[in-house]
Structure 1
Amino acid sequence: MRLRFRFYACALIVMLMLPIFAAACGNDSGKPKVRVGEVARTIFYAPQYVALAKGFFAEQGIDVELQTTAGGDKTMTALLSGGIDIALVGSETSIYVFQQGADNPVINFAQLTQTDGTFLMEREHDGTFDWNDLKGSEFLGQRKGGMPQMAGEFTLRKHGIDPQKDLNLIQNIDFANIASAYASGTGQYVQLFEPQASIFEREGRGKVVASFGVESGRLPYTAYMAKGSYLDEKADVVQKFTNALQQAQRWVANNSAENIADTILPYFKDADRAIVIDAVKRYKEQGSYAIDGVFEQEEWSNLHDVLRTAGELKQDVPLEHLVNNRFAEQAKQTVK
């Protein structure tokens, strides 16, 4: 009788402890859960969707929960408040947080894209293009302080154009509404991400005449980052995450635009396959997808130049202050 009592007592304890064990593991599968917030849902982030679709995160033993937190400010707020564990956002946001004197700085640990992802579209294209054509025109740009706009202005200045004086720069339209504003007739020129640029070309609404990614050079444009405390406490999880990303980056580098498009289409349910292929092809051809997550000093310095030109840099921030390359370097060396 006493033995049976002990058995039932032990069974009861185990049953009561199961939810605690499950919570500690992150989910019912026993895999640690990693909450990732992406600043946008875009073909520009193709390697991330490849890692999810091909099961690379799962193979590493982690469960990635992806959510779209539209806008850099919202994404960073979610990260700092604990709503997400890892943010996929422009590296400039980590500098902004640092400049505000954060006690627990946000650290970049894996790079996803290495160029700007926007293109210059001209509404009335006659077959030729010169940057001087923009002078005096109505230019529909991106949000002030965001990397697309800063890379755009950096490029314009490189070509002798003062964005504030030489053209009518429109910046009061939300990111989500820029494409529709252009479609309704606003702007002679517009700065667009893919696939919207390819969609408008097929619809005859304009012609892509230049790439801001090519013009502004290599940048740590979009990266995964987390609070320093998370990297310390969850180093094994972060390494597994970076390993999966490295596997996806190599897969993207070694596969055709068609294969990549077919793999990521479930994340763009309403997208036309041909449009996705065109968008992926453009990004691959200009080297937008990083082949590994390692941050290079030259890219970090170029980011400073872009921020400085836009008047958004209060002080230079050494790469080692806000970048931890340890995870990406290990993944680069060990993941085949």
Structure 2
Amino acid sequence: MLNKHRLIMEGTAIFGVLLTVLTFGGCGVSTSAPSSNTASSDSSNSQTADYKYGTVEFPKSSSLCSSPIGIALAKGFFKEEGINAKLVTADTETRKVGLDTGRFAVTNGDFQFFPSIENGVKTKVVGALNKGCIKIAVKKGSPIKTAQDLKGKTIGVDEIGGTPYEAANLWLGDAGLNVDQKNGDVKYLPFDDANLEFEALQNGQIAAAALWDPLPTMQEEKGTVDIIFDLGTNPQFAKRFCCFLYGSKKIIDEKPDEMAAIIRALNKARDYIAQHPEESADLVMQNKYSTINDKALIVKLFKSYDYGVKDNEQAQIQDDVKFFSEGLKSIGFLKTDNPDAFADQVYQKIDLS
């Protein structure tokens, strides 16, 4: 199933990785606070010497899913663990290459990374951040209410093969629809700009829009759409982690203490967000960790993402990795004949003591 699509995705991913490695110096990663002169560089080096693990780069994004990274920096949780954290800009492929080479010790990501791991990217799931952050919206008042109602329709996505695309296919496939890329019951139309996707929804070019939060929630509050699928509340996915923490295998093997320190800092940040959502929202806006400037909306989403660290959480993370591995295999996104064995290979328990 999806053989043609899978070959295209694999070829694109391999080419992207090779291109990024060959042109790594000009890959478009920029630091959030570049040095302007030698003096500032010397000062930075002096400050780095005060940290047990030195400077560690973390890819940043404008999504709320990655907020624990920013909160850990703002609240000093990284510093407490001996880490001089530095936020840098990196797209999805650059993050994968960074994990592969050890430039990035960790990055947040979702089950979209699983096929890349199967294709050789050297990273492991070492933790998790939050639950739910993808929704499918239809035009306000639309007769489309269920997965079955989307049969024969077109769904807008940010990219073919991206997480909203995969989440939609998992939901539709579970409802009995044929999700084969070539002959499936639903067609997909990619949009580079989410605003254009919503415009297409309103003018009837697409019947539904699968998107990351916060945009679907923002449109719902404006009264322009109805939400028919929420990854965080749908019975099939509710209470499952979708945003995992990926660790570089190189760092896991060579610097296990540093990896543990990073996860401890991020867990502190997760608990802080869960216990202090309003203060966390203030930090996100003050430091521009997200493009959202609506505090009430940030607080609402923080509460829905269930950031708090749970007892025996590692067992749940491992179970969720298996759940999504089996799901991706069922819709043709993984080649493995044994998704459970693949999940065991992907997950790495880290000793946090």
> Shorter-chain TM-score: which interval?
0.7 to 0.9
Instruction: State the Cα distance separating 1:131 from its structure 2 match.
Output: 3.3
The alpha carbon displacement at 1:189 in A equals 1.1
Spell out, residue by residue over 1:234-277, the C-alpha distance to the aligned partner (whole angstroms, 9 max, x if none).
Answer: 2222221111112122223333x434322322323652223323
SS at match of 2:345: helix
Match of 1:150 among 133, 149, 166: 166
Whole-angstrom CA distance in 1 between matches of 2:47 and 2:242: 30
Structure 2 residue aligned with 1:6? none
| TM-score (ref. length: structure 1) | 0.75
Pick the aligned partner of 1:235 from 256, 261, 274.
Answer: 256
Q: What CA distance in whole angstroms lies between the structure 1 residues aligned with 2:102 and 2:141?
A: 47
Distance, in Å, in 1 between the alignment partners of 2:70 and 2:134 is: 20
1:139 aligns with 2:155: yes
- Spell out structure 1 runs of 4+ moving beyond 6 A: none
Would the alpha carbon gap of residues 82 and 318 (structure 1) be closer, same or farther in structure 2, given more than 3 Å must change?
Answer: closer
Per the alignment, residue 299 of structure 2 pairs with 277
Map 1:243-254 to 2 at 5 A: 243-254=264-275
Distance 1:301 1:66, change over 3 A: same
Q: Tell me, yes or no, if the aligned pair for 2:157 and 2:209 is still in contact at 8 Å.
A: yes
1:84 pairs, out of 78, 101, 104, with 104
Report what 1:314 is aligned to: 335
Q: Percent of pairs identical after alignment?
A: 20
SS in 2 for 1:313: coil
**What's the Cα RMSD here?**
3.1
- Alignment match, 2:320: 299
Matches within 5 A, 1:150-229: 150-163=166-179, 165-170=184-189, 172-174=190-192, 177-184=193-200, 185=203, 186-215=205-234, 216-217=236-237, 219-229=240-250
Partner SS state of residue 137, structure 2: strand
Output the CA distance in 2 between the equivalents of 1:219 and 1:283. 10
- Kept in 1: contact 2:267–2:309 (CA 8 A): yes
Q: How far 1:322 moved relative to its partner?
A: 2.7
Measured in 2, the distance between the counterparts of 1:197 and 1:310 equals: 25
TM-score of the aligned structures, taking structure 2 as reference length = 0.72
> In structure 2, how many angstroms separate the alpha carbons of the residues matched to 1:66 and 1:208?
33
Question: How far apart are residue 207 of structure 1 and its match?
Answer: 2.2
Which amino acid letter does the alignment assign opposite residue 291 of structure 1? V
Distance 1:75 1:144 in 2: 19
Within 2, Cα distance between the matches of 1:167 and 1:129? 15
Distance 1:130 1:151, change over 3 A: closer
AA at the equivalent of 1:173: F
Task: Tell me the CA shift for residue 211 of structure 1.
Answer: 0.6
Distance 1:271 1:321, change over 3 A: same
Please give the secondary structure, in 1, of the residue aligned with 2:327.
helix
Q: Equivalent residue for 2:347?
A: 323
- Secondary structure of the equivalent of 2:152? coil
Matched, 1:58 2:79: yes
1:118 shift after superposition: 0.5
Equivalence for 1:4? none
Tell me, yes or no, if the aligned pair for 1:87 and 1:225 is still in contact at 8 Å: yes
Rounded Cα–Cα distance in structure 1 between residues aligned with 2:196 and 2:266: 33
Q: Describe the shift of the 1:143–1:305 C-alpha distance in structure 2 as closer, same or farther (beyond 3 A).
A: farther
> Offset of 1:82 from its aligned partner?
4.7
Alpha carbons 1:33, 1:65 under 8 Å: kept: yes
- Highest Rg: 1 or 2? 1
Q: 1:269 to 1:119 in 2, by over 3 A?
A: closer
For residue 66 of structure 1, report the CA deviation from its aligned partner.
1.9
CA–CA distance in 1 between the matches of 2:168 and 2:308?
Answer: 20
In structure 1, runs of 5+ residues without a counterpart are 1-18, 331-336
Give the C-alpha shift of residue 119 in structure 1: 0.9
Q: Specify the SS of the correspondent of 2:188.
A: strand
Shift of 1:191: 1.1
Identify if the C-alpha distance between structure 1 residues 313 and 116 changes in structure 2 by more than 3 Å, giving closer, same or farther. Answer: farther
Cα distance in 2 for partners of 1:303, 1:99 equals: 14
